[in-house]
Chain A
Amino acid sequence: MPTLTPLSAIPVPSPQPEQTYTRELLGRRFSFVGLKRLLGAADYSKAGDRSAGLSAHSEVEREAARSILSELTLAHLYEHPLTDDKGHVDAVMRVNYDIEQESFRALSGLTLGALKDHLLQAEGVEISRVGQALTGVMAAALTRLCDPHELIFLSQKIHRPTQARTLLGAPGTLSSRLQPNHPTDDLRGLTLLLYAGLSIGSGDALLGVNPAVDTVENVAAIVNLLDRVRRTLGVPTQICCLGHIKTQLACLAQGVPIEILFQSVAGTESTLVGEFDVTIELLDEAYRTMAARGPLHEQARQFLYFETGQGSEFTYGKHNGIDMSTTEALCYGLCRRYDPFMVNNVTGFIGPETHLDSFEMIVSNLQDHFMGKLLGLPMGMAPCYTLHSRITQEGQQLATELLTAAGANYYMDVCHGSDRMLAYFDTSGHDVQTLREIHGKRPGAEYLQWAIARGIFQEESGRIVRGRAWGDIGQFVSQSELATLLAATPGMHGFATAGPRPSESVSRSSRLHQAIAREAIYTELEVQSLQAALPFRIIHTAAGSKEAHLQSPDLGARLTQRSADILLTETHRVQIAVSDGLSAAAVHHNIPELVPVLLDGLQGLGLSVGQPILAPYGRVKLAESLLDRLDAELLVYLIGERPGGDAQASCSLSAYLVYRLRDPAVQEAAARFAHSPNIRFEYSVLSNIHQGGLPPLEAGAVLLEKIRDILRHQAAGNRLTALLHTH
């Protein structure tokens, strides 16, 4: 087990005053104030960086930044640590300076351009050695100088195998993490998706579930299921439930087989601590615990699993003025400290606010993969997308072809590519097998032996090909049991295959569902017909168009000045507002029945309610502006949910009951409960409102009960739940 360098023992130069970097090109002068600006301008233009004001305004400006960067020495980058918003070096940056000092000293005089030339001529071993002398910022800076060919060419030279129960990332292999996520963690659904993945040769990297509910009981139940399936079938792989690290450690303390410990990480300390509730100290403790007491500690060399992806720091508004790919590189510098078994990159997951289209997603994936490998990480990739971005399945598949050429260790296997719990689109087991066959790759050795014994694969003239049992889920489950498991699993389109791909009928079905869901996002709100049905007043958000609404969530959270001026203080305790959010179809299908029940009920309960508001292009946070403007106690905010891969669920509506903490004593209680002294609002949520889930009429009655509870107890969200529990 490598020793973890105490943070205080990691030398970091003191922050310097910001330097202005200037370059004249063909009579034009380009200036960049500070290294953060220079790094941002030198990168490809991406939505998140554009919104943060960090991207270059033109290709020429970008090339100017790159040419400056190319001439900076590693020593210069070393001497200028990037700081947080208060001008301090945060803990994540500090960890990034835990490098091979001797190697660094030998390289420190090289410019980034010279370093790139050196690496392009070097063998993989040398590239890996150099990587250990680099901080995340250096890796990010170097990446800006590389075009896609170079990113792929350099990456494919680096091999980073890791060993837990099985070996992952050996040359010539392409593995997959089987990700059988289920919206309610139904063990039958999880089982079905595990069987489906195993039948097509997936899961050699990991059987790993993202839980819908992050409790010790639930995570333990999921891990125990994974353990049972793995043992029963004798699959040589490892298991993991991707709950919070604290939940998993609690499970481990109870004897639950936490073979691989997972955590999402971020590239700034404020995001890591404030949003992910993780500190370096906690990660250190977790690492030591797994090394001493993890179920695989006697055989594994690595046992941690990190997930990252460009843009989380930006989305949380905690990026410290640093661009997305640099914060991503800082994540890798943090991951490197713990010599992880797996690092999974999910760039594309967040949405168009970080990556607008396929190009941005693809290029970011190539960068991330290279930076991770360079810094010594076993990179698995999950080029992915949500339907409200312009990233398409075609773009995703192009990304996987390039990343496989670049030597990615593994991908996800999400059945049919549509994650049933997280409502996003990832790679599938069919994709993995297709890539194996195109690029001459095979699964990990131990798993392969198991799969050959079952007939899932077979060896033919030294080649590994699909066997008779490939794609046959019947090898794990009887027909009658299959029917039971299918009934518990949404979004299934069949198991038929054609070659390594799903059969045509399966593909058409899944793509049709995806198309319907995407259409729901781009459908405009039918304001006039809604107004004809209900007495709505219309207000406008700062998002002036569907495109702006989808790409910049903050616009939909703000009122235009004109609308703000119209909305004056009213005397009503309750207000109702409706927005399309990410599905206008959800509004069209549900509102005409739901809102009348609410109005009838509020009147029946003797609660005064304002004229309902219709706010096209609204986001959830708009609720707070509305409550403040109208001086109401409670807002019922009905908003379309983000569609996943199921056509019916694309009409799904959420209801946010937003309670405004007006009373100082109530605010104090809420602040105490949430450990958040400045809290102003509490939220209760009711989701899955549509005819196939909770019907809108019934949802109206359910909401009325919740409204009554919130007003009676002057609390919403978890605090209300706790109060109801004690009554």
Chain B
Amino acid sequence: MRSRLVTLIGLDFGSTTCSAVVAEARLTEHCATGRRELEQAVTRYRSTLVMTPFVGQTEDVLDLEAVDQLIEGWLRAAEVKPDELFGGGALITGLAAGTANATQLTALLRKRLQDAVIATASDPCLESFVAFMGSCAKASGKEPQTPFLNLDIGGGTTNLALGMNGEVLRTGCLQIGARHLRFAPGTLRLTGASPLGRRQLQYLGIAKELGETLRLAEIECLLDYYVTLLHSACTGQRGELQTALGQQFEQVELRIPEGLPPPKLAFSGGVGALIHARLAGDTQPPSTCYGDLGPHLAERIVRSPLLHGEIVQSEHAGRATVYGLLEHATVISGSTLFVSRPELLPLRDLPILGSISSQSSPIALHDALLLLRRSPGGGALRVRLFTAGLHELRTLGVRLQESIRALHFPPTHPIVLLLAENLGKVLGAYVTGFSALNINLLVLDEISVRSARFVQLGRLQDQVIPVSFYGLLP
């Protein structure tokens, strides 16, 4: 049995809570194809959900020292050494992503978790993607002909992802969450509001300031507005989303393909967990007990036309994002990839600069490589093959070689080619003239290239490279 255990991690810093999960997965070799796969992830450690630490009451600055201590405690409890991590991700989501020092938290996470893990803030489509994968990818895979729509509703955002057969087709994001308006726990006394929350109050004619108590009718009005926007986004009937305020709520439009049957719905995130609990008849938490509109929003959604569709149980509900990060943020390259300078791995923040194919004109190939040449840290190009035959590989390889020679690439400048077929080593061989060309070329094959702006490559391990995409496109 050619396999070994690897360690994966997921960390989610959301508007309300944050948590970590660590798992062990088996890196196995497929019996027929020889392809390496991650299988049988078993949770080794799951932190409790804790409130995301902010400085003061305004929740617009993260308490980095407290966060650092949290991470330290999680890693210690999970008995994880960062240099042993194989993959996973850390996301700063929702309102936490909009804080003044979210970038500093990203830097802290990168320092703490080192190179194997992506760490990023405000990547709404990636959030939507991982939430879908952690919430309903398995259920979707069992009904390959049925669309599934996951709504990951947290404190600051609702991340939408539409998928089929376990794969995400489209993503979107609304700035709808439980925590745009904050309350003294157990009351309706307003203690805080995000800028968007303030605009919503104003738009709806609710003239309340901090310290004042909202009436139930006003709360209902706020919730109705949320539900209207959610309904518009889920059905594609844009309506309210096209108003001035509606546009501010819509961060990324969910473009629903035409002709799809009505999707089954899954809810994840903190509010999603409350919705499922309510549907299951569980005892409900008192209103505003978390200091926000979570329980109210869950209750309102359950009463809404959104629920007319079929609801499926979310696999990880409140922790869908962190589990999705853990298991799906990192994919594995093929095992016969081409790596001319393995010692220069890992590579972070490589921009994906475009697509090329054997049908690209010499000028188009040259332009794509010129863009890559000008990118200071190198970059990646998607490679599309048509016949995947000898002639196509040879032709493309030789043309790329000519352009690379003409552009005088420095020997350490990373050139990454991403392709879906198991042909990485042979394409790399032709591009480099069978290693005659001294360049830093990586051809990663058997990669289902996501629509993303960036890619991150881990170290070469067991002949494969962990690959993570971020800056996902809807």
Could you say which of A187, A604, A697 contacts B433, with CB atoms under 8 Å apart? A604
- Residue in chain B with minimal CB distance to A602: B434
Question: Are A490 and B31 interface neighbours, CB within 8 A?
Answer: yes
- With A702-B425, A705-B425 already in contact, the answer to whether A490 and B1 are too (CB < 8 A) is no
Residues of A with C-beta under 8 A to B450: none
B393 interface residue per 8 A CB criterion: yes
How many angstroms from the CA of A604 to the CA of B3 in the assembled complex?
34
Task: Determine which residue in B428, B429, B445 has the highest number of CB atoms from chain A within 10 A of its CB, and name it.
Answer: B429
Contact of A596 among B3, B390, B445 (CB under 8 A): B390
**Pair A221/B390 contact, Cβ less than 8 Å:** no
From B32-40, B256-264, B268-276, the one touching the partner chain is: B32-40
A348 to B419, CA, bound (A): 45
Alpha-carbon distance A483/B424, docked complex (angstroms):
29
Please determine whether B390 and A597 come into contact, CB atoms closer than 8 angstroms: yes
Are A698 and B425 within 8 A (Cβ)? Answer: yes
Docked Cα-Cα span, A212 to B3, in Å, equals 13
Contact among B28, B423, B425, B429 with A186 in the assembled complex (CB-CB below 8 Å): B28
> What 6 A-B pairs have minimum CB-CB distances, sorted nearest first?
A604-B434, A185-B1, A701-B425, A701-B426, A701-B429, A184-B31
Pick the contact of B32 from A185, A212, A649 — CB < 8 Å? A649
CB distance from A544 to the nearest CB of B (A): 34
Within 8 Å CB of B299, what residues of A? none
Q: Are A186 and B34 in contact (CB under 8 A)?
A: no
Interface residue? A540 (CB, 8 A): no
Provide the residues of chain A in CB contact with B435, threshold 8 Å. 604-605
Beyond A488-B30, A693-B32, A693-B33, 11 additional contacts (C-beta under 8 Å) are A184-B1, A184-B28, A185-B2, A186-B28, A221-B1, A597-B390, A600-B434, A649-B32, A694-B33, A697-B426, A700-B426
Min Cβ gap B319→A in Å is 20
Question: In the assembled complex, which residues on chain B have CB atoms less than 8 Å from the CB atom of A186?
Answer: 1, 3, 28, 31
Interface residues of A, Cβ cutoff 8 Å to B: 182-189, 212-213, 218, 221-222, 420, 479-480, 483, 488-490, 592-593, 596-597, 600-601, 604-605, 648-649, 688, 692-695, 697-698, 700-702, 704-705
Task: Decide: A697 and B390 in contact? CB cutoff 8 A.
Answer: yes
**Residue of B29, B31, B338, B436 most packed against chain A (CB within 10 A):** B31
Q: Is B56 an interface residue (CB 8 A)?
A: no
> Are B1 and A188 closer than 8 Å at their CB atoms?
no
Residues of A within 8 A of B81 (CB): none
**Number of CB contacts from chain A to chain B under 8 A:** 98
Most chain B beta carbons < 10 A, residue from A420, A695, A702? A695
Assuming the contacts A213-B1, A700-B426, asked whether A189 and B390 have C-beta atoms less than 8 A apart, the reply is: no
Known: A213-B1, A698-B425. A692 touches B390 (CB 8 A): no
Tell me the bound Cα distance from A420 to B393 in angstroms. 33
**Which residues in A have their C-beta under 8 angstroms from that of B281?**
none
A residues within 8 A CB of B424? 698
| Residue from B3, B31, B426 within 8 A of A183 (CB atoms) | B31
Q: How far is the CA of A689 from the CA of B212 in the complex (A)?
A: 73
Distance, CA A188 to CA B430, complexed state (A): 38
A187 to B142, CA, bound (A): 23
**B303 CB, min distance to chain A CBs, angstroms:** 32
Query: Which residue of chain B lies nearest to A694 when distances are taken between CB atoms in the complex?
Result: B34
Whether a CB of chain A sits under 8 angstroms from the CB of B336 is: yes
CA distance A697 to B435 in the complex (A): 17
The residue of chain B having its C-beta at the shortest distance from the C-beta of A594 within the complex is B390
CA–CA, A697 and B385, complex, Å:
14
Map CB proximity to A onto B20-54 as digits: 1 under 8 Å, 0 otherwise. 00000000111111100001100000000000000
B138: chain A residues at CB < 8 Å are 480
Are B32's CB and A605's CB within 8 A? no
Residues on the A chain within 8 Å of B421, using CB: 695
Q: Contact at A213–B2, with CB atoms within 8 Å?
A: yes
How many Å lie between the Cα of A702 and that of B423 in the bound state?
A: 10
Contact B31 A489 (CB under 8 A): yes
| Contact present for B423 and A698 (CB under 8 Å) | yes
